[in-house]
Chains A and B, each alone.
Chain A
């Protein structure tokens, strides 16, 4: 069965960087794009970007351009999302989610989420 298992919760200071991993299993990793979506406490879903897990090609939401880096390791079926220059507003649960289609969605499987807390 398809599973996306994310790394554990992180606490970071403002200005630091965080790297979250998402390990996929139960399907052919390189056949599907992967998105990253975040959700601040009590807020809605916010799309951060997408990575072609086969080629490594990425497309980021304008809001995160210059601060986010998504990478793919085909040898371990793992994608990574690194967010730099963290500020308190980046406190959120970060999800990886598989794209069932061709980068437009739907997002058919989601990781369990990784809570990132930014606090001094």
Chain B
């Protein structure tokens, strides 16, 4: 069971817009820690897609955007393309009485119909 909650799957047709949610709590996202997003193609290492809630690394198209509010964050993808089909993970930091460290969402599989 992941500390951050993501939907297991989302889907959309080419050209459409999809969003992936990432729900945390007061000890992580709600505590003000940034949310970062990664995508992962089968058999490859994860790759940074969005950092600091809404910043794109160089080379990531502006079809990808991120937002954060309260104890949740979301990743939006517009103009969906076949190459966007991948697993997506959110990541933040958690600090509680039981310990502190990086936490990930369970991952969301994006299917382009």
Contact = CB atoms under 8 A, between A and B. Distances in A.
Interface in A9-56: 35, 37, 44-47, 49-50
A35 B102 contact: yes
A113 B45 contact: yes
B52 A106 contact: yes
Contacts of B47: 110
A37 B52 CA distance: 20
B102 A104 contact: yes
B103 A47 contact: yes
A69 to B, nearest CB: 16
Contacts of B99: 61-62
A105 B34 contact: yes
Question: Interface majority SS on B: helix, strand, loop or mixed?
Answer: strand
A61 B45 CA distance: 21
Contacts of A61: 99, 101
Contacts of A100: 48, 51
Interface residues of B, number: 26
Contact of B92 (A35, A105, A112): A105
A59 interface: yes
B107 A44 contact: yes
A49 B103 CA distance: 10
Given A104-B34, A105-B36, A107-B91, A44 B104 contact: yes
Contacts of B36: 105-107
A47 B100 CA distance: 11
B98 A62 contact: yes
A95 B45 contact: yes
10 contacts: A37-B46, A37-B104, A44-B105, A49-B101, A95-B46, A100-B51, A104-B34, A106-B51, A107-B38, A108-B51
Interface of A: 35, 37, 44-47, 49-50, 59, 61-62, 95, 97, 100, 104-108, 110-113
Given A35-B102, A45-B91, 6 more contacts: A44-B2, A62-B99, A95-B45, A100-B48, A106-B91, A113-B45
Considering the complex of A and B, which 7 residue pairs feature the smallest CB-CB distances, nearest first? A106-B36, A106-B51, A110-B45, A44-B107, A104-B93, A47-B102, A45-B104
